[in-house]
Amino acid sequence: MVSSSTKWLSSLVCFRRRLKPEVLDGEHSSHRFGTDHKEPVESSHSISTTLQQSARTSRESVAGKKRHDFSPQKEPAVVERTVSDDTLATVSVEKGSSLNQSLLVVAERQYKLVDDCAYPTLANEREVIIRPMAVGLNPIDWMSVDYNFCLPSFPWITGRECAGVVDHTGSEVTNVKVGDQVWTSTYYRDRRAGCFQQFVTVPEHTVLPMPANLNFDQASTLGVAGLTAAMTLWKWLEVTMPSVSCTAGSSPPAQATPSRSDEYLLIWGGATMTGQFATQIARLSGLKTICVASETSKSLCTSLGATHVITRDGKSPEMLLEEVQAIAADNITCAIDLVGAETASYCLRAVSTQRPVLFAPLAMMKNDMAIARNVRIETVEMKRFVLDEDNAFYAERLNSLIEAGAVKTPELDVMEGGLAVVEEGLARIKAGNRNGRKVVVRMS
């Protein structure tokens, strides 16, 4: 059975179903943001139903194909783009006899480590090839392989975040150069962008300079949890950005709404990787936070700046909600759930009944949940970072906060051994009980 502490990331990609708004008191759900807002609910089934459906869809999509027929010379999968209609022609890269060691997913629940894949090609001259020095491991990495989703075909290469050194750039790349130390966040639909390989190919706007105060291990944690927390708060929950200078030449896509001093952000799952980043960013943005976590994680959440920490050990949902209400009354206007569908329902019971509320259920929502008309559900789609160049601004601002020492990365569980130990690392995450520590694999 999937652990509740590790299933949240699957909601960030692949599984989204648009649901009809629930009818409350004879009216459809609505919100104070006007008539042009999104539908109130956009979510998915419970984890078991969704994974089964996604696995079936993925299997059907590759029916009739040879699952082990991997040709290193095959044209790379090209990520869909919203910014331009790039040519599908590849750009030749001369790297002599360089080979690309890769951890292939050759079938459901089956990996194969190969040493003789060819050095990657570029789809256009605005791409960057990175040699990872460290890769961050995430629940989505094992879940997609175990349940056969987010795998467009076999063989495939997974892995969503890494930090490393620029090995090659297209002729139109201007922001980085060969030899630069960088980090990136990737999109599953491009096999060349999977981080479980020796060379990773990504669009230029997704490549960020590594903060000077981080090493490769620490920087490899930014691409999933760090960026998810930042974009969830600033883009989807409309939280004010901290006044820290970002990369020169950038400007925010839109002005954030100022926070009000009596409002609260509820984070259910405060000790998760994303919860740790979100707590720190929210504090810098002027929000008071209530984190729900285990007793063993209470001191961690407090150290990261949580205004209040409610420990969940041995308590019923009613007891937890009573504690939340005793602290915030009717003033929770933002909420993030990082645990599962059940706790998403608790968040909906905890938020304000009178004020406008924005809720990001990062760990699934059941499709039969009633949504009050003052609540707007925000569907966090991290693929937007890759597909929409304007969203690079959020990563740049996160970088600024990291480099200023205002936001810290999680404690690490670093594994030596490169791609050969990735499966072992994913097994550790699957087992749960990480106590707030991030698993990172050192590539060299």
pLDDT in tens, 299-358: 999 999 999 999 999 999 999 999 999 999 999 999 999 999 999 999 999 999 999 999
Reported as a pLDDT band with limits 50, 70 and 90, residue 244 is: low
Same domain, 200 and 274: no
Whether 34 maps to a domain, the answer reads yes
Beta bridge partners of 162: 135, 184
- 389 and 376 inside one domain: no
- β-strands 308-311, 332-337 pairing: unpaired
**Residues 255, 359: one domain?**
yes
Domain finish residue from 360, 380, 400 = 380
Residue 40: asked if its preceding bond is cis (omega within 30°), the reply is no
Share of the chain above pLDDT 90, in %: 68
Question: CA 108 from chain center: how many Å?
Answer: 22
Comparing CA positions, the residue from 147, 180, 148, 145 lying closest to residue 159 is 145
- Residue 260: per-residue pLDDT: 60
Rounded CA separation 25/218 (Å): 50
Final residue belonging to a domain, choices 338, 360, 380: 380
The domain boundary, picked from 337, 364, 380, lies at: 380
C-alpha 230/C-alpha 336 separation (Å) is 12
> First-to-last CA distance in the chain?
34
340 shares its domain with 237: yes
Would you place residue 95 in the very low, low, confident or very high pLDDT band (cuts 50, 70, 90)? low
Which amino acid, residue 3?
S
Average pLDDT (5-15) is 43
Closest among 232, 197, 228, 259 to 410, alpha carbons compared: 228
* Number of Cα atoms under 13 Å in the Cβ half of residue 242: 23
The pLDDT, as a whole number, for residue 13 is 43
206 within 8 A of 393, measured Cβ to Cβ? no
Residue 372 lies in a domain: yes
Residue with tokens 């810290």: 408
Q: Is the pLDDT of residue 138 over 70?
A: yes
Pairing of strands 27-28, 99-107: unpaired
Give yes or no: residues 351 and 252 share one domain.
Answer: yes
Residues 353 and 426 in one domain: no
The answer to whether residue 278 is domain-embedded is yes
CATH number at residue 311: 3.40.50.720
pLDDT digit string, tens, across residues 385-396:
999 999 999 999
CATH assignment of the domain containing 208? 3.90.180.10
Q: Please state, as a whole number, how many other Cβ atoms lie within 10 Å of the Cβ of residue 240.
A: 17
Q: What is the DSSP letter of 109?
A: T
| Domain housing 256 | 8-46+229-380
Task: Answer yes or no: do 90 and 186 share one domain.
Answer: yes
Both 202 and 144 in one domain: the answer is yes
Confidence (pLDDT) at 11: 43
- 131 and 269 in a common domain: no
Number of domains in the chain: 2
Choose among 154, 167, 58: nearest CA to 106: 154
Place of tokens 């894949």: 117
141 within some domain: yes
Q: Are residues 147 and 86 in the same domain?
A: yes
Domain identity same for 157 and 135: yes
Residue 437 lies in a domain: yes
Q: Are residues 244 and 220 in the same domain?
A: no
Whether 350 is covered by a domain: the verdict is yes
Q: Is the pTM of this model over 0.75?
A: yes
Neighbour tally for 133: CB within 10 Å: 21
- Would you say 237 and 334 are in contact if contact means Cβ atoms under 8 Å apart? yes
**What is the average per-residue pLDDT within 69-74?**
37
Q: Which residues contact 280 (CB under 8 A, 6 or more apart)?
A: 304, 305, 406, 407, 408
Assign 3-state DSSP to the chain and report helix, strand, coil percentages, each to 5: 30, 25, 50
In a domain, 400, yes or no: yes
Q: Does the residue 54 lie in any domain?
A: no
